[in-house]
């Protein structure tokens, strides 16, 4: 018998509100700084004072176009502003300026990395954020610093079939936005607000199931858990033959539970109508083309390229989730490191050192240039691999240059063959029994002897050269 | 004692420039007129005569080289109290804005100030400029100085009355569907509504954003043109302003030969008062200008179209007055209750009627039948006007279907009141420049307004022509 889960089809669409990375707000020139002292980043426009009029922020429009193009959307040469009405103390005009039937962009798609699934993007439109309510036991206060901050709302088609895919979609979307510099997209700071809507139906059923919407998802973990919970709930209700009512839930991070926020009996009537204070947003195709030309290499293309150049899937995964690491990595390549070298010394060795030191990349004291110096010393044989490890540790500790530390710590490789021979002689003399075994054909013993030599040399020689010296000496004595 | 006649802007400017007059003396005259009439007429919500006098004195002590006196230096102007002046209350004649002090200047105020104009006071109006008689003000009705039994028109009734009784040399009003032109007509003054987009709305408290325009109320066309040339022009703070500076005007007062003036057949067919029709048309006939009849059946629906759009925008624009951030708050236990109580107490009856109807017109299920239909109508009307202007240079009509009526006569019949906008709504909907000038002949001893309309952005041509007609 197929499992309960496999008898149902999960259908998820996601709306994401992205805070655009602009210096000023969407319709006024107030600085975007939501952490400033409450109500210090406000003006007549974002406070909705009588007589004030909105002025469109061109940079926000540009960022919206960038995101839309990166998502393969068609950017509309004419889009329009609309007013969406509802009463709330954090909405000073009694309406939000947004885009409704004429959005900035429509019809794109996003490939989920490693999943062979593409999620269609229905639309991307621009709008302004609301203020923030601050509740205390006695009263509720309003901070309007966030009011009017530019947002892009990105709406997917219901092409997502699991919590895992939802997670992948959001991570990839976030990565694209960060690569473009469109948004910092920090979830916990509210730059990237995800609202999935989930419905479940028996496989083969044509009719869509009833939707559950989830808000207040402040981390990817919350998204996964929240969506999973909503799916489980809906399947359980269907199994029990319960009627499902369209509901909006808040994710309770602590209790890891969905709390119903409002049950939609009738659709809210926002009385959208064209914003009379702003003319339609008219774009030139040449403007759009220019922005398209200036787009950086997008994550999917970059991944393809690095894979071709020999980077493992696992490393690609790491880089794709951590833009700062990716940045460092690509810088290494640009300055002459090979993909293999960059992978070994950044993603393996340096990452290990940082983990040990409980540091993040931002605290890491080795700049890209010095990491490249280390790699070059290693490549030219001036440094051995074990010594290089020690050197990197020292660099991370002291924040000094590779060459300076190598000299100061005397870590340079011993390449003088006379000196190597002297050490090999000493080890052979000190270990007659293993040498005898080697002579008897147990050639594996050479590893032990090499190890002894390296210890003597404090790691400062090429192990291959040592092996060479040892075997030559032993052979000579035969 | 009787009213002290004030000079026009043009006269006063000349006298100030040559040193023949002092601005402070004009303020003194205004003080006398205010003392005499203001109590009965109620034209002003707030007067700033002391500040005005101080500014006038400093203007008087400034020596400009001959001919270099700024356009409006020393000119006392009244401002409708829905236009923000920094540091002054802006009431919109509504209780809901109780205590609100504007923290910034409207663009028109900045421009007037930059040219040396002196603010006399903020004038009374219909609440949020919604009305045609200035009877809906929370500060009490304004009376017509020509006959205090009668209304001054509205909604800029305070501005018109102030200029009429010599409380200011000129005034600014706002015109959404006739609010500058009709009170000018009722008061025997000139009222000019520029093309939509010519004058920045930054700082004008919105009634219906797609229709609101600020315009001057003056005693002569020349004065209206002067103020217009100062306040008009593109403004980055109002994205709906027209990007070009206003054209130079040639106010010679000469009637150009071959000028084609049209009358809209449907307007005159529906006019009840023959005497008004005659008062409007006779001067043209006497000047030998043939009136060309054009048919524009679209204008029959202009009242419905106008009010549908205006009310819809009202319901949106007035959503911000919720008692949370400024103005009147009637505190109740819950948020919804506070909203309801504040708005119920803060808004007058006419405002509530319009918010309710506008909300209805934008509601799901009704928006297509109402708002969207009105939008389509507006586009068709603009086309019809365009067609008419391919045949004629200007369109002529009365400004209002009646002369000034008595207080209380129409206030209890909103539909009757709305019908008073019959000649001023359609050209506003079509965003056209239009002007009301006093007809030489009166009806029942009361002034009649001649309205002239031009095609869009032909403001300069319209003012030139009106200036010539004024002299017939
Ligand atoms: Zn602001």
Nearest residue on chain A to B312, alpha-carbon basis? A273
How far is Cα B215 from Cα B198, in angstroms, rounded to an integer? Answer: 10
What is the reported pLDDT for B356? 97
What is the reported pLDDT for A264? 58
C-alpha distance from B367 to closest chain A C-alpha (Å)? 8
CA angle B176, B180, B185 (to 5 degrees): 130
Instruction: Compare A411 and B181 and report the one with higher pLDDT.
Output: B181
At A384, the pLDDT band (50, 70, 90 cuts) reads: confident
Considering B133, B156, B179, B302, which one is annotated as catalytic?
B179
Considering B94, B133, B155, B455, which one is annotated as catalytic?
B155
pLDDT digit string, tens, across residues A416-472: 777 888 888 888 888 888 888 888 888 888 889 888 888 888 777 888 888 888 888
Checking if the pLDDT of A478 tops 70, the result is: no
**Residue-wise over B110-140: b if at least 16 C-beta within 10 A, else e?**
bbbbebbbbbbbbbbbbbbbbbbbbbbbbbe
Checking if the pLDDT of A265 tops 60, the result is: no
Stretch (H or E) spanning B71: none
3-state secondary structure chain A: CCCCHHHEEEEEEEEEEEECCCCECCCCCCECCCCCCCCCCCCCCCCCCCCCCCCCCHHHHHHHHHHHHHCCCEECCEECCEEEECCCCCCCCCEEEECCCCCCEEEEEEEECCCCEEEEEEEEEEEECCCEEEECCCCEEEECCCCCCEEEEEEECCCECCHHHHHHHHHHHHHHHHHHCCCCCCHHHCCEEEEEEEEEEECCCCCCCCCEEEECECCHHHHHHHHHHHHHHHHHHHHCCCCCCCEEEEEECCCCEEEEEEECCCCCCCCCEECCCCCCEECCHHHHHHHHHCCCCCHHHHHHHHHHCCCCHHHHHHHHHCHHHHHHHHHHHHCCCCHHHHHHHHHHHHHHHHHHHCCCHHHCCCCHHHHHHHHHHHHCCCCCHHHHHHHHHHHHHHCCCHHHHHHHCCCCCCCCHHHHHHHHHHHHHHCHHHHHHHHCCCHHHHHHHHHHHHHHCCCCCCHHHHHHHHHHHHHHHC
How far is Cα B41 from Cα B247, in angstroms, rounded to an integer? Answer: 37
pLDDT digit string, tens, across residues B312-338: 999 999 999 999 999 999 999 999 999
At A74, the pLDDT band (50, 70, 90 cuts) reads: very high
Interface test with chain B among A27, A48, A49, by most B beta carbons within 10 Å: A49
List all residues 6 or more positions away from A183 whose beta carbon is below 8 Å from its beta carbon. A18, A19, A20, A21, A63, A67, A152, A177, A191, A192
> Which CATH fold would you assign to the domain B1-296+385-472?
Amidase signature (AS) enzymes (3.90.1300)
CB-count burial class (<10 Å; 0-12, 13-18, 19+) for A184: middle
Kindly determine whether residue B316 and residue A85, on different chains, have CB atoms separated by under 8 Å: yes
Kindly determine whether residue A277 and residue B236, on different chains, have CB atoms separated by under 8 Å: no
B237 and chain A in contact, CB less than 8 A: yes
Kindly determine whether residue A279 and residue B237, on different chains, have CB atoms separated by under 8 Å: no
Q: What would you report as the CA-atom Rg of chain B, rounded to the nearest whole angstrom? A: 21
- Tokens for A252, please give them: 């309770």
CA A144 to ligand 1 centroid distance, Å: 9
Stretch (H or E) spanning B305: helix B302-317
CA B317 to ligand 1 centroid distance, Å: 18
CA A151 to ligand 1 centroid distance, Å: 15
C-alpha distance from A274 to closest chain B C-alpha (Å)? 10
Residues B70/B71/B74/B77 CA torsion (nearest 10 deg):
-140
Average pLDDT estimate for A58-75: 98
Checking if the pLDDT of B413 tops 60, the result is: yes
Kindly determine whether residue A53 and residue B239, on different chains, have CB atoms separated by under 8 Å: yes
> Which CATH fold would you assign to the domain A417-477?
Arc Repressor Mutant, subunit A (1.10.10)
CB-CB neighbors (< 8 A) of B362 in chain A: 85, 271, 273
What is the reported pLDDT for B332? 94
CB-CB neighbors (< 8 A) of A94 in chain B: 316, 318-320, 322
**Beta partners for A260?**
A249
What is the reported pLDDT for B67? 78
What is the reported pLDDT for A42? 98
- Tokens for A233, please give them: 């709930």
Q: Is B331 among the catalytic positions?
A: no
Q: How far, rounded to the nearest angstrom, does the alpha carbon of residue B184 sit from its chain's CA centroid?
A: 8
At A139, the pLDDT band (50, 70, 90 cuts) reads: confident
What is the reported pLDDT for A359? 87
Q: Give the number of A-B residue pairs with CB atoms closer than 8 Å.
A: 96
What is the reported pLDDT for A267? 63
Least confident of A303-317, B201-215, B435-449: A303-317
B322 and chain A in contact, CB less than 8 A: yes
| Interface ipTM | 0.96
What is the reported pLDDT for B36? 97
Q: Note which residues in 248-287 of chain A have CB less than 8 A from chain B.
A: 267, 269, 271, 273, 276-279
CA B102 to ligand 1 centroid distance, Å: 15
What is the reported pLDDT for A116? 86
Q: Residue A78, by phi and psi: left (phi above 0), alpha (psi -120 to 50) or beta?
A: beta
Handedness of CA B78, B107, B52, B129 (dihedral sign): positive
CB-CB neighbors (< 8 A) of B238 in chain A: 53, 277
CA A48 to ligand 1 centroid distance, Å: 9
Cβ pair A76, A104 in contact under 8 A: yes
What are φ and ψ of residue B405, in 5° steps? -100, 180
Tell me the pLDDT of chain A averaged across its residues. Answer: 91
pLDDT digit string, tens, across residues B109-122: 999 999 999 999 99
Nearest residue on chain B to A141, alpha-carbon basis? B324
Least confident of A161-165, B1-5, B238-242: B1-5
Stretch (H or E) spanning B262: strand B261-264
Kindly determine whether residue A92 and residue B320, on different chains, have CB atoms separated by under 8 Å: yes
Kindly determine whether residue B202 and residue A271, on different chains, have CB atoms separated by under 8 Å: no
Give the N- to C-terminal CA distance of chain A in Å, as an integer: 73
Stretch (H or E) spanning B190: strand B190-193
CB-CB neighbors (< 8 A) of A56 in chain B: 239
The alpha-helical segments, DSSP class H, found in B107-220 are 107-114, 157-164, 181-187
What is the reported pLDDT for B180? 98
Average pLDDT estimate for B331-358: 96
Cβ pair A196, A213 in contact under 8 A: yes
Nearest residue on chain B to A274, alpha-carbon basis? B313
Cβ pair A367, A327 in contact under 8 A: no
pLDDT digit string, tens, across residues A3-39: 776 899 999 999 999 999 999 999 999 999 999 999 9
Interface test with chain A among B94, B128, B316, B318, by most A beta carbons within 10 Å: B316
CA angle A140, A142, A145 (to 5 degrees): 155
Range list for CATH 3.90.1300.10 in chain B:
1-296+385-472
Per DSSP, the three-state class of B264 is strand
Per DSSP, the three-state class of B348 is coil
Query: What crossing angle do the helices spanning A446-456 and A432-439 adopt, rounded to 10°?
Result: 140
Instruction: Compare B239 and A356 and report the one with higher pLDDT.
Output: B239
Handedness of CA B320, B325, B328, B334 (dihedral sign): positive
How far is Cα A236 from Cα A222, in angstroms, rounded to an integer? Answer: 21
What is the reported pLDDT for B367? 94
Range with top average pLDDT, A289-303, A391-405, A418-432, B268-282: A289-303
C-alpha distance from B382 to closest chain A C-alpha (Å)? 17
Cβ pair A50, B205 in contact under 8 A: yes
Cβ pair A263, A246 in contact under 8 A: yes
- Tokens for A188, please give them: 């916990």
To which residue do tokens 């009358």 refer?
A: B263
Checking if the pLDDT of A477 tops 90, the result is: no
Cβ pair A82, A275 in contact under 8 A: yes
Whether the bond between B155 and the residue before it is cis, its omega within 30 degrees of 0, is yes
Q: How far, rounded to the nearest angstrom, does the alpha carbon of residue B293 sit from its chain's CA centroid?
A: 28
- Tokens for B139, please give them: 């500060």
Q: Give domain limits for chain A.
A: 5-289, 297-408, 417-477
A92 and chain B in contact, CB less than 8 A: yes
Query: What crossing angle do the helices spanning A417-430 and A463-477 adopt, rounded to 10°?
Result: 60
Average pLDDT estimate for A53-82: 98
Query: What is the pTM for the complete model shown?
Result: 0.89
B97 and chain A in contact, CB less than 8 A: yes
B104 and chain A in contact, CB less than 8 A: yes
CA A280 to ligand 1 centroid distance, Å: 21
Q: Is B159 among the catalytic positions?
A: no
CA A25 to ligand 1 centroid distance, Å: 7
C-alpha distance from A15 to closest chain B C-alpha (Å)? 23
Checking if the pLDDT of B1 tops 60, the result is: no
Instruction: Compare A414 and B163 and report the one with higher pLDDT.
Output: B163
Range with top average pLDDT, A94-98, A136-140, A203-207: A94-98
Question: Which of B204, B210, B363 is closest, CB to CB, to A51?
Answer: B204
Kindly determine whether residue A276 and residue B202, on different chains, have CB atoms separated by under 8 Å: no
Checking if the pLDDT of A263 tops 70, the result is: no
Q: How far, rounded to the nearest angstrom, does the alpha carbon of residue A390 sit from its chain's CA centroid?
A: 31
Between the alpha carbon of residue A173 and those of residues A27, A78, A176, A179, A342, the distances in Å are 26, 25, 5, 10, 26
């Amino acid at each position: 018998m197929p499992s309960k889960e496999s008898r149902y089809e999960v259908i998820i669409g996601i709306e994401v509100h992205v805070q655009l990375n602009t210096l000023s707000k969407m319709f006024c020139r107030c600085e975007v700084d939501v952490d400033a002292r409450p109500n210090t980043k406000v003006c007549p426009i974002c406070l909705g004072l009588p007589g004030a009029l909105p002025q469109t922020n061109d940079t926000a429009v540009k960022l919206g176009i960038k995101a839309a193009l990166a998502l393969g959307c068609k950017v509309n040469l004419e889009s329009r502003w609309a007013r969406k009405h509802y009463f709330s103390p954090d909405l000073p005009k009694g309406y939000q300026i947004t885009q409704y039937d004429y959005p900035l962009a429509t019809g794109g798609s996003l490939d989920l990395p490693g999943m062979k699934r593409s999620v269609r993007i229905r639309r991307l439109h621009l709008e302004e954020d609301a203020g923030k309510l601050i509740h205390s036991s006695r009263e509720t206060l309003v901070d309007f610093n966030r009011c009017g901050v530019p947002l892009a709302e990105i709406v997917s088609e219901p092409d997502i079939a699991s919590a895992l895919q939802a997670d992948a979609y959001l991570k990839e979307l976030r990565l694209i936005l960060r690569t473009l510099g469109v948004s910092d997209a920090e979830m916990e700071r509210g730059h990237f607000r995800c609202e999935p809507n989930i419905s479940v139906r028996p496989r083969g059923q044509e009719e869509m199931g009833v939707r559950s919407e989830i808000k207040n998802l402040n981390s990817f973990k919350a998204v996964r858990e929240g969506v999973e919970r909503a799916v489980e709930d809906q399947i359980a209700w269907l199994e029990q033959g319960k009627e499902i009512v369209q509901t909006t839930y808040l994710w309770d991070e602590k209790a890891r539970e969905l709390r119903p926020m409002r049950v939609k009996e009738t659709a809210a009537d926002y009385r959208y109508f064209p914003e009379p204070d702003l003319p339609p947003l008219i774009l030139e195709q040449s403007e759009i083309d220019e922005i398209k030309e200036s787009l950086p290499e997008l994550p999917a293309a970059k991944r393809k390229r690095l894979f071709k150049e020999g980077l493992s899937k696992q490393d690609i995964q790491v880089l794709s989730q951590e833009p700062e690491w990716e940045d460092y990595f690509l810088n290494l390549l640009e300055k002459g490191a090979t993909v293999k070298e960059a992978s070994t010394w950044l993603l393996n060795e340096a990452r290990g050192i940082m983990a040990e030191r409980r540091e993040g990349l931002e605290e890491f004291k080795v700049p890209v240039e010095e990491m490249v110096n280390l790699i070059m010393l290693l490549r030219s044989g001036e440094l051995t691999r074990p010594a290089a490890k020690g050197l990197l540790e020292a660099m991370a500790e002291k924040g000094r240059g590779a060459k300076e530390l190598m000299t100061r710590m005397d870590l340079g490789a011993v390449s003088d063959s006379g000196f190597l021979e002297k050490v090999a002689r000493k080890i052979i003399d000190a270990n007659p029994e293993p040498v005898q075994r080697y002579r008897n054909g147990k050639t594996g013993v050479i590893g032990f002897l090499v190890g002894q030599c390296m210890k003597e040399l404090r790691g400062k020689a090429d192990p291959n050269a040592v092996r060479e010296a040892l075997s030559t000496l032993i052979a000579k004595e035969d | 004692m009787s009213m002290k006649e004030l000079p026009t802007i043009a006269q006063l400017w000349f006298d100030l420039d040559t040193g023949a007059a002092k601005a402070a003396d004009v303020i003194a005259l205004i003080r006398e007129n205010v003392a005499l009439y203001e109590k009965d007429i109620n034209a002003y919500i707030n007067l700033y005569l002391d500040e005005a006098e101080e500014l006038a004195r400093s203007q008087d002590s400034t020596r400009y080289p001959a001919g270099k006196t700024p356009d409006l230096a020393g000119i006392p102007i009244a401002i409708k109290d829905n236009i923000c002046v920094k540091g002054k209350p802006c009431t919109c004649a509504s209780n809901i804005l109780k205590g609100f002090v504007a923290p910034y200047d409207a663009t028109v105020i900045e421009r007037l100030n930059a040219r040396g104009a002196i603010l006399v006071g903020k004038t009374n109006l219909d609440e949020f400029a919604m009305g045609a008689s200035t009877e809906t003000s929370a500060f009490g009705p304004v009376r017509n100085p020509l006959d205090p039994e009668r209304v001054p028109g509205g909604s800029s009734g305070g501005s018109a009355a102030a200029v009429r009784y010599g409380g200011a040399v000129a005034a600014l009003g706002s015109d959404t569907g006739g609010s500058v032109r009709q009170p000018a007509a009722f008061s025997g003054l000139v009222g000019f509504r520029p093309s939509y987009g010519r004058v920045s709305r930054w700082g004008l408290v919105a009634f219906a954003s797609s229709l609101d325009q600020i315009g001057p109320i003056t005693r002569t066309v020349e004065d209206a043109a002067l103020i217009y040339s100062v306040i008009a022009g593109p403004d980055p703070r109002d994205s709906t302003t027209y990007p070009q500076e206003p054209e130079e005007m040639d106010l010679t007062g000469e009637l150009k030969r071959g000028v084609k003036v049209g009358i809209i057949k449907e307007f005159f067919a529906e006019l009840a008062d023959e005497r008004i029709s005659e008062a409007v048309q006779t001067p043209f006939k006497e000047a030998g200008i043939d009136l060309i009849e054009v048919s524009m059946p679209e204008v029959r629906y202009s009242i419905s179209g106008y009010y549908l759009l205006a009310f819809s925008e009202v319901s949106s624009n007035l959503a911000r007055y919720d008692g949370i951030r400024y103005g009147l708050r009637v505190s109740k236990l819950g948020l919804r209750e506070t909203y309801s109580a504040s708005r119920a107490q803060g808004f007058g009856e006419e405002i509530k009627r319009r918010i309710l109807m506008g909300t209805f017109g934008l509601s799901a299920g009704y928006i297509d039948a109402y708002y969207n239909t009105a939008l389509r109508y507006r586009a068709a009307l603009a086309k019809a006007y365009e067609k008419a202007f391919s045949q004629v240079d200007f369109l002529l009509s009365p400004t209002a279907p009646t002369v000034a009526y008595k207080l209380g006569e129409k206030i209890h019949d909103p539909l009757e009141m709305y019908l008073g906008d019959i000649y001023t709504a359609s050209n506003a909907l079509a965003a056209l420049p239009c002007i009301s000038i006093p007809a030489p002949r009166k009806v029942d001893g009361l002034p009649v307004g001649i309205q002239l309309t031009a095609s869009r952005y032909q403001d300069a041509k319209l003012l030139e022509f009106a200036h010539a007609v004024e002299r017939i």
